[in-house]
Chains A and B, each alone.
Chain A
Amino acid sequence: MPPWVELAIRIAGVLAAFLVLPLVVGQTEHKVMAHMQGRLGPMYAGGFHGWAQLLADGVKFLQKEDITPRAADRPVFQLAPVVALVPYLLVMLVIPLGPGDLVAQPLDVGLFFTLAVVGVGVLAVLMAAWASANKYSLLGGLRAAAQLLGYELPFVLAAASVAMAAGTLSLTGIVEAWQPWWLLWQAPAMVVFFVAGLAEIRRPPFDMPVADSELVAGYLTEYTGLRFAFFLLAEYVGIVVISALTTVLFLGGWRGPFADPQLGWLWTLLKVFAVAFVVIWVRVSFPRLREDQLQRLCWLGLVPVALGQLLLTATVKLIVS
């Protein structure tokens, strides 16, 4: 078939995943968080255990009034949700779902592209915070700046470790080079990547920028309606992206116990949902980190571990080769 049709189909597939997977993760969060707290979660929307709750929420947000505060910096304020959402869409284009050709755009520098684009999401938080003309937003934004800049480093170092182990920056190549004993070898990097990834998407316990009970809603305070819904969607897309990256880099992507060529996509999705479950589990179980605790964890905890892992990776790689 002509190349543009194939490209359109691939992009449509990624778009479908981009719209559906976050809703599934969001509904899972509602139910899992509820049961972990001894309650039931949504039960009415859509009849069967409230499966349509997030769709109902989406419709609710759509019909709200679009307000921009008078003192706000209008173009920046209105652009921030888009800047939060689009980088994740771009990253999803290069994450492989299955062996061979099951990826929207196989990039040779896929990992480099991913890390660079995820960093753009940081900008959205600062845009939202500064343009909101609100003290709470500004506080949230400045906390976010310190947090996101700090955690970029262990995030990148951990990813670099596994790229070094695989010898390639291509995400497809990393999955192909992966071996089960890497689970042990790259375990510190996996933990560092996962924790830093949580901090990058501002998920509890790293949700200081939002800090529901302290900062009203941090950098989200002045957002209502569809823009707010976009930020929320960005949070859940972030969970999907971080889970997918952890899966592809550290858990072997589409590699499974059997039937890799046919069921590779299934293994990927199962692993992504398993990691997403851990993200939700961590949110329910742990209290929020204070700014100083957060920075301490980053600079005194994660960065040394990531550097140590790099050393270990390089050593083992030299020994093995």
Chain B
Amino acid sequence: MSDRGHGEGLAKGLAITLKTMVRPARTQQYPDVTPELPPRSRGVIALLEENCTVCMLCARECPDWCIYIESHKEEVVVPGAARPRQRNVLDRFEIDFSLCMYCGICVEVCPFDALYWSPEFEYAEYDIKDLLHDKERLRQWMPTVPPPPAHDRNGEPAKEEAAAARRAASPAARRPVRPARAAGPRETAT
């Protein structure tokens, strides 16, 4: 038997349930009310086609292989350049949301900020084929992407911030040492 008083645990249990009963329940009765979602909620992925360079990192890194990408190369003539530049043009960019597991790796890995999370979640379909969102539909999610929330006050600073802070803190210790190299036509004074 416990060396605390008999029934102390029983009384505590009763007290907790009574306290919970007296507080209002925080249930949000969807669909009668729109739910308040926390920041950075993952509902659907939006595509900003202008930023996409078809590097295919998202399709490669997706664990489910649910991103389908097709592209072709175009030549862009730049006046004054030695030869025309080539750029990738997106033909087909589809995300199959019946496979997507909302891990966010594609959004994380995109180097050009072409993919964004949106908190929209009401896109259930009767036909599973309609869960394949094509380029146009992914663009239509863009207006629903919220502005990024403020950084967490207690969070770790970004790598760039940390590096800049380090450099600023010790200017004497890090005298810039340039390696010896042949002077080229573009050497400029710092």
Contact = CB atoms under 8 A, between A and B. Distances in A.
Contact of A285 (B17, B23, B26, B29): B17
Contact of B25 (A35, A282, A284, A285): A35
A40 B27 contact: yes
B18 A34 contact: no
B158 interface: no
Interface residues of B, number: 13
A36 B27 CA distance: 13
B14 A32 contact: no
A281 B18 CA distance: 8
Contact of B17 (A36, A39, A43): A36
A285 B25 CA distance: 18
B34 interface: no
A179 interface: no
B37 interface: no
Contacts of B23: 38
Interface in A34-88: 34-40, 43
Contacts, number: 33
Contacts of B13: 285-286
Q: Is the interface of A mostly helix, strand, loop or mixed?
A: helix
Interface string A265-303: 000000000000000011011100000000000000000
A148 B23 CA distance: 37
Contacts of A38: 20, 23, 25-26
A293 B8 CA distance: 18
A40 B17 contact: no
Contacts of B21: 32, 35-36
A39 B23 CA distance: 10
A284 B27 contact: no
Interface string A23-39: 00000000010111111
A286 B10 contact: yes
B169 interface: no
B29 A37 contact: no
- For A37, A43, A285, A286, which residue has the most chain B Cβ atoms within 10 angstroms? A285
A34 B20 CA distance: 10
B20 A36 contact: yes
A37 B20 contact: yes
B87 to A, nearest CB: 55
B17 to A, nearest CB: 4
Given A36-B21, A285-B14, 8 more contacts: A36-B20, A38-B23, A38-B26, A39-B27, A40-B25, A40-B29, A281-B18, A284-B17
Interface of B: 10, 13-14, 16-18, 20-21, 23, 25-27, 29
The 5 lowest CB-CB distance pairs between A and B, nearest first, are: A285-B13, A36-B17, A36-B21, A35-B21, A285-B17
19 contacts: A35-B21, A35-B25, A36-B18, A36-B20, A37-B17, A38-B23, A38-B25, A39-B25, A39-B27, A40-B25, A40-B29, A43-B29, A281-B14, A281-B18, A284-B17, A285-B10, A285-B13, A285-B14, A286-B10
